[in-house]
A = this chain, B = another copy of it.
């Protein structure tokens, strides 16, 4: 190496070191902001405890839209955009009933259950029939219409506890919630019950969306989830009496689509105002709890990015947006609308991040390889090491940004610790008291830090 190149090399090295060191100071300030001065926790308290559950189409969802707009301006947004979208409007109606009775055992038990989102209701008459317990779609193929017709299918499929990431266990079982009813209807079943998608052996039923997949069956039968303990009880009773009768009564229905909005809070870019780095969560939630972890947490973490930038005097090169997407839970209308608006307005999106895995302690990021994003992000690993962000894995973003992903926008999914998420996911127990303030703030700071680095260098 000659002297000229040596000098260039060291100049390069030292400017790299200086920029890393000044970036590490900025990250420290972002963390200090989130840990001592942020509104993440108090914002989430309002969203969850004052507004509460906010399923698409509900008055609470609209209240949440107005709240988000105000919260974004309060955080320091230069502008807040409401992006209209039409959302499905499913309502649960009266509390569900699920009874099992056995003449053989002379027993009668009430099972804790919840109708699955998008399901048709049974109405006041309910449905009644014998139950067939299955453990896979293949079981239904084996049994066939002769046996299944007129019965209620019970998908008794457990989470695989050996999966280290709980999302992997969820990924394996959620198909029974999503398409179990259509698959059962295909063989003439009159109802569908599924074991809740959880690893926690408690009595909270987990709702979540289902779809009537017309490619499988044109018949729509009612679908409910049983709590983990209720599914255990049903299984135990079926071992003793295969002719057990189940009575199901649900009053849910789908009303006409309703108008709603994504809420987009923006800090204007100083160099490239029509290029954007965005981070979002979804504003809607299921109707049972308060949508605290799913996904109030993601929303307040992302809104706080605006406050952190403003209060720290960071003027971003590109437009920075915090997006509160509407209708992630049962339709993705908001995510689709966001991508459509971006295309129409010819907005360039450098990168999009989604935070929708609960407000737990941070672990890392799932990063797209599109346009070299992963190779860029992994260079910042050492900046995140002091903050216990250790995992940079190649993977996609999230549901709300999947529209952008299809348009070629590099996407990131934020990864908090997953162990407790499916304990409360889509249940009445997803409430503000399950939030740990520091976990919420640390994850928010991790997201804001990555957005800062992307704006500056990507």
Contacts and interface: CB of A to CB of B under 8 A. Distances in A.
Interface stretch (A221-229, A346-354, A383-391): A383-391
Given A363-B388, A388-B391, A436-B419, A442 B164 contact: yes
Interface stretch (A30-38, A55-63, A88-96, A104-112): A30-38
A419 B391 contact: no
A213 interface: no
Contact of A36 (B32, B36, B162, B438): B162
A199 B441 CA distance: 13
Contacts of A200: 437
Given A35-B161, A361-B419, A439-B420, A390 B391 contact: yes
A249 interface: no
Interface residues of A, number: 27
Interface-centre pick from A32, A363, A436, A438 (highest chain B CB count, 10 A): A438
Interface-centre pick from A31, A36, A388 (highest chain B CB count, 10 A): A388
A40 to B, nearest CB: 13
Interface in A153-172: 161-162, 164-166
A361 B423 CA distance: 15
A417 interface: yes
Interface in A414-442: 417, 419-420, 423, 436-439, 442
A164 B391 contact: no
Interface string A126-162: 0000000000000000000000000000000000011
Contact of A438 (B363, B419, B437, B442): B419
Contacts of A387: 164
Given A419-B438, A436-B420, A162 B391 contact: no
A162 B436 contact: no
A224 B345 CA distance: 64
Contacts of A32: 162
B439 A388 contact: no
Nearest to A28: B162
Interface in A369-424: 386-388, 390-391, 417, 419-420, 423
B436 A423 contact: yes
Copies of this chain, tallied across the complex: 2
Given A161-B438, A166-B438, A361 B417 contact: yes
A87 B252 CA distance: 63
Interface string A36-72: 1000000000000000000000000000000000000
Interface in A355-369: 361, 363
A211 to B, nearest CB: 29
Nearest to A31: B162
A36 B442 CA distance: 31
A29 to B, nearest CB: 10
Interface in A10-35: 31-32, 35
A162 B35 contact: yes
A37 to B, nearest CB: 10
A264 B89 CA distance: 61
A419 B439 contact: yes
Contacts of A391: 388, 390
A417 B439 CA distance: 10
B161 A36 contact: yes
Contacts of A161: 35-36, 438
A43 to B, nearest CB: 17
Interface-centre pick from A165, A419, A436, A439 (highest chain B CB count, 10 A): A419
Contact of A390 (B31, B166, B390, B436): B390
Nearest to A363: B388
A164 B417 contact: no
A419 B442 contact: yes
A363 B419 CA distance: 13
Given A166-B438, A419-B442, 13 more contacts: A31-B162, A35-B162, A164-B386, A164-B387, A200-B437, A361-B361, A361-B417, A361-B419, A363-B388, A390-B391, A419-B439, A420-B436, A423-B436
5 contacts: A31-B162, A161-B438, A363-B388, A388-B391, A417-B417
Closest 9 CB pairs of A and B: A390-B390, A35-B161, A419-B438, A419-B439, A32-B162, A35-B162, A361-B419, A36-B161, A361-B417
